[in-house]
Amino acid sequence: MPAAVQYIIIPLVKVVLIQITLLIGVALTVWLERRTAGFIQDRYGPNRVGPFGLLQPVADVVKLFMKEDIVPEKANKFIHSLAPAISVTIALSTIAVIPFADPIQLFGSEFKLQIADVNIGILYILAMVSLGVYGVTLSGWASNNKYSLLGGLRSSAQMISYELSMGVAVLGIILVNGTFELDTIVQNQAGWKWNIILQPVGFLIFLTAAFAETNRTPFDLPEAEQELVGGYHTEYSSLKFALFFLSEYANVIVSACVITTLYLGGYQFPYLQTFGLSPVLVSILQIITFLIKIFIIVFFFIWIRWTVPRFRYDQLMVLGWKVMLPLALANLTITAIIVTLLK
């Protein structure tokens, strides 16, 4: 195979396909959230644009595109424009290391169904998550608005606090599997050896931290409209606001991908390889399995948003520092002891 095809064309095709799929997933998640909210609140939700309102997200994008882009007179205009670009770039980049199926053989070469195959996939995800705070914090500061600034400061404190618990929870996965590589972690969960069974406490900690990292209810204090108008994106309109909107829902989908990969067996369908199917068909079924698991997690995110009330900010910080972090450290300690004794 020519080097140009192997190192340029194929990675570029992977990037385009996966990013387009992610953006379509964002549009469908917006539709699903609005329809689910309507069902929970005994109303219809979007049902006019397209069949069952499926084209409503497209109409929303067109509407936002046609709106005027308003920037406060005393805002830092460069940072004001840069902040939503940071948020959406981080959201779309995190999915790069997620494996979607076993490698397949085509034209005598092995193709991995992920954008980037790196042996430190977990560290990459944690690094990208930690960078996500910059977009929100800078947007609040650059707007020159006290409500926006307070929302940005809340977000930075919240995300840093819950990143600690998330990172410590992931250390349990690393101890159990002995690797940072996501491919190996998924393969170790073949059959029913899912990490949610081996690390149930770590799963609950990671799931809770994922809610906080994505600013979803009951952790949406950076956007608390009763107190902060709209929070960090109060001074944003048109496509800049749309980028924040896109990054939030992309983060939800990517969080579902990470949770599925680390704790729910990834693309593994128990004993699928024993059915004697062709490798290509196995890969297709694995991708479908992965998408079903993602859908379940995303729906859980939506369901919680329209069911559980928002925390007070002091309750949020107490939960992060006095409950989740000690629990994560205890889980890590017990896991280390068990792994050492079983060696």
pLDDT tens digit string along 95-121? 999 999 888 776 667 778 888 888 888
pLDDT computed for residue 20 by the predictor: 93
Q: Are 282 and 273 in contact (CB under 8 A)?
A: yes
In this predicted structure, the answer to whether residue 325 has a pLDDT above a threshold of 90 is yes
292 vs 284: CA distance, rounded Å: 12
Q: What are the φ and ψ backbone dihedral angles of 105, each rounded to 5 degrees?
A: -100, 120
- Residue 111, beta-bridge partner list: 104
Range of weakest confidence among 64-73, 245-254, 297-306:
64-73
What is the chain's mean pLDDT, rounded? 88
Q: Who contacts 119 (Cβ-Cβ below 8 Å, separation ≥6)?
A: 179, 180, 181
In 10 A of CB 253, how many CB atoms?
25
What is the three-class DSSP state of 111?
strand
Q: Can you tell me which residue has the tokens 């006019």?
A: 48
pLDDT computed for residue 59 by the predictor: 93
In 10 A of CB 58, how many CB atoms?
13
In this predicted structure, the answer to whether residue 244 has a pLDDT above a threshold of 80 is yes
DSSP state of 94: G
In this predicted structure, the answer to whether residue 191 has a pLDDT above a threshold of 90 is no
pLDDT computed for residue 27 by the predictor: 93
Q: In the predicted model, what is the mean pLDDT of residues 237-256?
A: 91
**pLDDT band at residue 9 under the 50/70/90 scheme:** confident
Q: What is the CA radius of gyration of the chain?
A: 21
pLDDT computed for residue 224 by the predictor: 67
Q: Which two tokens stand for residue 324?
A: 């989740």
311 Rama sector, left if φ>0, alpha if ψ -120 to 50, beta otherwise: beta
Report domain extents, the chain: 3-342
Q: pLDDT (tens digit, 9 = 90+) per residue, 155-186?
A: 888 888 999 999 999 999 999 998 899 999 99
Q: pLDDT (tens digit, 9 = 90+) per residue, 194-223?
A: 999 999 999 999 999 999 988 888 888 777
pLDDT computed for residue 1 by the predictor: 60
pLDDT computed for residue 223 by the predictor: 72
pLDDT computed for residue 13 by the predictor: 86
Q: Can you tell me which residue has the tokens 């396909």?
A: 17
pLDDT computed for residue 172 by the predictor: 93
Q: In the predicted model, what is the mean pLDDT of residues 131-141?
A: 88
222 Rama sector, left if φ>0, alpha if ψ -120 to 50, beta otherwise: alpha
pTM of the full structure:
0.93
